[in-house]
């Protein structure tokens, strides 16, 4: 198999697992990191520099791939960061920065890759979103919004581009054991804030979920299976039964009943 795959954010977590697995399957894999030189371990795939929030960095990488491979068949838009905080107290700059990585970054990658991808009519783009993007989670509003926005714009792109033979889909993970919690932007808990106790309690719940999350290999296996699909669906979800069921519940329960469930879960 000589398909060229670009996996953003492959230095750790889900991206690393995806890149390892696709390499093992015989794909030519380029994984990315903002600072590839900081990793002393040897990756079996090529780890290249990329910051999805920086235009020059994207241009440079695409140029390198053009010269070396003359094609990009698959883009896995995986790079992403977490953010927590009460909506009222989270700085807009922090929210904008999160959207730069989680929303505009993947879009910039898509815009840069498509002109090369469409030269071969079998391209695929998988945007890694999140189950959190299917609902506004308390104290994760900006994260939910960034992933929800990526979900929705993927639907538009998918229809626009279908006739060109390029498959677009999203894959929303539940909780997986990665370093994402330790790298999250946390808006500080403000003393005497009306959210002090509920926010702190929610932070504890969130961290416990990720720490006890599933093995990232599940996501890698799913990505490989999706790449084999000739006519994929727009959206896929991977996670525990309860996490997946939360999306179904949102569709079928009256809105207030669903909100009550979430509030109970987050002790609000
Ligand atoms: N883990 C979960 O439970 C979970 C659940 C739902 C969705 N997700 C989503 O899955 C994706 C991967 O998350 P993860 O859990 O594997 O997190 P992670 O271990 O923290 O990995 C994040 C990756 O993104 C890269 N990255 C961060 N900012 C970047 C930027 N500006 N430009 C380019 N690369 C950047 C990091 O690479 P460098 O630091 O080396 O640049 C790293 O490789 C994210 O989109 C996340 O939102 C994760």
In a 3-state reduction of DSSP, which class is residue 136?
coil
User: From the alpha carbon of 39, which atom of ligand 1 is closest?
Assistant: 40
What's the CA-to-centroid distance between 11 and ligand 1, angstroms?
9
Q: Is 175 helix (H, G, I), strand (E, B) or coil?
A: coil
Distance 44 CA to ligand 1 centre (A): 19
Q: Which of 27, 239, 59 is nearest to 133 (CA)?
A: 239
**Ligand 1 proximity of 79 Cβ (cutoff 6 Å):** yes
Residue 60's pLDDT is what? 98
Predicted confidence at residue 260, as pLDDT, reads 98
Task: For residue 9, report the distance from its CA to the centre of ligand 1, in Å.
Answer: 6
Which among 70, 156, 144, 134 has a CA at the least distance from the CA of 103? 144
What's the confidence (pLDDT) of residue 69?
96
Catalytic residue among 27, 134, 143, 195: 143
Give the Cβ contact number of residue 263 at 10 Å: 12
Q: Say if CB 179 and CB 12 are below 8 A apart.
A: yes
DSSP state of 162: G
Report the alpha-carbon distance of residue 66 to residue 195 in Å, rounded.
50
Atom of ligand 1 nearest to the CA of 10: 43
Alpha carbon distance 121, 127 (integer Å) = 19
Nearest-CA residue for ligand 1 atom 19 is 13
- CB of 86 closer than 6 angstroms to any ligand 1 atom: no
Per-residue model confidence (pLDDT) at position 1: 59
**Protein residue with its CA nearest to atom 42 in ligand 1:** 9
97 lines ligand 1 (CB under 6 A): no
Query: For every one of its 268 residues, what pLDDT tens digit does the chain have, with 9 covering 90 and above?
Result: 589 999 999 999 999 999 999 999 999 999 999 999 999 889 999 999 999 999 999 999 999 999 999 999 999 999 999 999 999 999 999 999 999 999 999 999 999 999 999 998 789 999 999 999 999 999 999 999 999 999 999 999 999 999 999 999 999 999 999 988 889 999 998 889 999 999 998 888 887 777 789 999 999 999 999 999 999 999 999 999 999 999 999 999 999 999 999 999 888 9
What is the rounded distance in angstroms from the CA atom of residue 183 to the CA atom of residue 12? Answer: 11
What one-character-per-residue DSSP string does 203-237 give? HHHHHHHHHTPBPTHHHHHHHHHHHH-SS--SEEE
CA of 81 to the centre of ligand 1 (A): 5
* Any ligand 1 atom below 6 A from CB of 179: yes
Q: What share of the chain is helix, strand, coil (3-state, %, to 5)?
A: 50, 15, 35
CB 50 within 8 A of CB 35: no
143 is catalytic: yes
What are the tokens at 100?
Answer: 């730069």
Q: What residues form DSSP beta bridges with 83?
A: 185
Q: Is the dihedral of CA 13, 208, 205, 202 positive or negative?
A: negative
Domains of the chain as residue ranges with CATH: 4-265 (3.40.50.720)
Is the CB of residue 64 less than 8 Å from the CB of residue 48? yes
Q: Are 78 and 8 in contact (CB under 8 A)?
A: yes
The phi and psi torsions of 234 (rounded to 5 degrees) equal: -65, -35
Contact of 142 with 95, CB cutoff 8 Å:
yes
* 43 touches 29 (CB < 8 A): no
Tell me if 47 CB under 6 Å of ligand 1: no
Residue of 8, 102, 180, 244 best suited for mutating to test ligand 1, as the one with most atoms within 8 Å of CB: 180
- pTM for this model (two decimals): 0.97
Rounded Cα–Cα distance for residues 2 and 73 (Å): 9
Distance from the CA of 257 to the center of ligand 1, in angstroms?
33
């Amino acid at each position: 198999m000589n398909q060229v795959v670009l996996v953003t954010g492959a230095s750790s977590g889900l991206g690393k697992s995806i890149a390892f697995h696709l390499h093992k399957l015989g794909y030519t894999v380029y994984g990315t990191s903002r600072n590839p030189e900081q990793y002393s371990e040897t990756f079996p795939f090529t780890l290249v520099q990329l910051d999805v929030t920086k235009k020059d960095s994207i241009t440079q990488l695409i140029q390198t791939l053009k010269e070396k491979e003359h094609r990009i068949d698959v883009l896995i838009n995986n790079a992403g960061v977490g953010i927590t905080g009460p909506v009222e107290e989270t700085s807009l700059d922090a929210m904008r920065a999160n959207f730069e990585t989680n929303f505009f970054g993947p879009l910039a990658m898509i815009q840069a890759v498509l002109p090369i991808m469409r030269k071969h009519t079998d391209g695929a783009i998988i945007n890694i979103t999140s189950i959190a993007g299917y609902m506004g989670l308390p104290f994760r509003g900006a994260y939910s919004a960034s992933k929800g926005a990526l979900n929705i714009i993927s639907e538009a792109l998918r229809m626009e581009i279908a006739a060109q033979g390029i498959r677009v889909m999203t894959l929303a993970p539940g909780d997986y054991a990665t370093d994402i919690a330790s790298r999250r932007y946390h808006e500080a808990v403000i003393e005497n804030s009306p959210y002090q106790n509920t926010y702190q309690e929610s932070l504890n719940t969130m961290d416990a979920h990720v720490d006890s999350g599933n093995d990232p290999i599940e996501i890698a296996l799913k990505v490989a299976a999706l790449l084999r699909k000739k006519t994929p669906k727009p959206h896929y979800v991977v996670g525990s039964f309860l996490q997946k069921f939360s999306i179904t519940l949102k569709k079928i329960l009256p809105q207030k009943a669903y909100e009550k469930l979430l509030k109970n879960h987050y002790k609000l």
